[in-house]
């Protein structure tokens, strides 16, 4: 897909992978609708518009989609389901509200956003959905059971979705990064880039790579790991 002039929705746009992806798409000439609970500070671009949206609320998602089409036009070419939440800890001490918050964001929110864009993408017989999962979708890890469960769900959803939407001309890619330097789980990125972690821009570049693949090619999954090991 040539991204110039295309319209992309990016969820979880306020920071980290979401913000980096929005910036990468803008560089490629796309118009970007950024959805999130907070606007990204300092992201001022004539092709970027922020729409306040908590993806856990299906009514908020529907409203954000309506507002996006009103402001940027009916055609939606890209959806990047990036909004995510991770709470770690042993299961026998895990709070139910944290469990539900992860599923509501990582799984239910992704479903609401995907469902919102599909009628228009089917009408166009074109579109690309990027679901940001994690390497936690490939192997379980102690004290990450709840998070792994959500990301396994995202990977399974993505795999089924690409098979469902293939006849409609819609591509689906599941991106599974390993360690990325963001403020995920409350950790603040360091002043100096951690050489043992990938940067949000690295993940954004992989997303753009998948989007710009030739029309006859679908990159269904991408696994990413830091090149430098501790």
pLDDT for residue 182: 64
Could you give the 3-state DSSP secondary structure of residue 53?
coil
The whole-number pLDDT of residue 193 equals: 57
Residues sharing a CB contact under 8 Å with residue 6, sequence separation 6 or more, in sequence order: 29, 30, 31, 77, 78
Domains defined along the chain, listed by start: 7-224 (3.40.50.720)
Backbone φ and ψ for 31, nearest 5 degrees, come out as -95, 135
Question: CA–CA separation, 175 vs 224, rounded Å?
Answer: 8
How far is residue 178 from each of residues 62, 106, 202, 219, 227, measured CA to CA in Å? 31, 16, 11, 18, 11
SS3 62: helix
Q: For the chain, which ranges sit under pLDDT 50? A: 185-190
Which listed residue (35, 48, 112, 147) is catalytic?
A: 147
- Per-residue pLDDT at 104: 98
Q: What is the pLDDT of residues 119-159, one digit of tens each?
A: 999 999 999 999 999 999 999 999 999 999 999 999 999 99
Q: Which residue has the tokens 């403020």?
A: 183
Give Cα separations from 83 to 90, 109, 209 (angstroms): 23, 8, 20
- The three-state secondary structure class of 223 is strand
Whether the full predicted model's pTM is greater than 0.85, yes or no, is yes
Question: Phi, psi (5° rounding) for residue 192?
Answer: -100, 140
Instruction: Let me know if 147 is a catalytic residue.
Output: yes
Angle of CA points 2, 77, 129, to nearest 5°: 105
Backbone torsions φ then ψ of 141, nearest 5 degrees? -135, 135
Contact 173, 128 (CB under 8 A): yes
* pLDDT at site 228: 80
């Amino acid at each position: 897909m040539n991204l110039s002039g295309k319209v992309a929705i990016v969820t979880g746009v306020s920071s980290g992978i979401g913000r980096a992806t929005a910036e990468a798409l803008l560089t490629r000439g796309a118009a970007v609708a950024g959805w999130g609970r907070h606007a990204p500070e300092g992201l001022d671009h004539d092709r970027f518009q922020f729409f306040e949206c908590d993806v856990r609320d299906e009514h908020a998602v529907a409203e954000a989609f309506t507002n996006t089409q009103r402001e940027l036009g009916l055609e939606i070419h890209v959806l990047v389901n990036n909004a995510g939440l991770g709470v770690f800890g042993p299961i026998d001490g895990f709070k139910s509200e944290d469990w539900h918050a992860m599923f509501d964001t990582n799984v239910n929110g992704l479903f609401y956003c995907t469902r919102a864009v599909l009628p228009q993408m089917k009408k166009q017989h074109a579109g690309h959905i990027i679901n940001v999962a994690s390497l936690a979708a490939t192997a379980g890890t102690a004290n990450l059971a709840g998070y792994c469960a959500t990301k396994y769900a995202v990977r399974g959803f993505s795999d089924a979705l690409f098979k469902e939407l293939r006849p409609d001309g819609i591509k689906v890619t599941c991106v599974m990064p390993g360690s990325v330097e963001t403020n995920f789980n409350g950790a603040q990125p360091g002043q100096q880039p951690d050489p043992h972690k990938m940067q949000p821009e690295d993940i954004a570049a992989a997303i753009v790579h998948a989007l710009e693949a030739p029309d006859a090619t679908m990159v269904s999954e991408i696994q990413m790991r830091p090149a430098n090991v501790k």
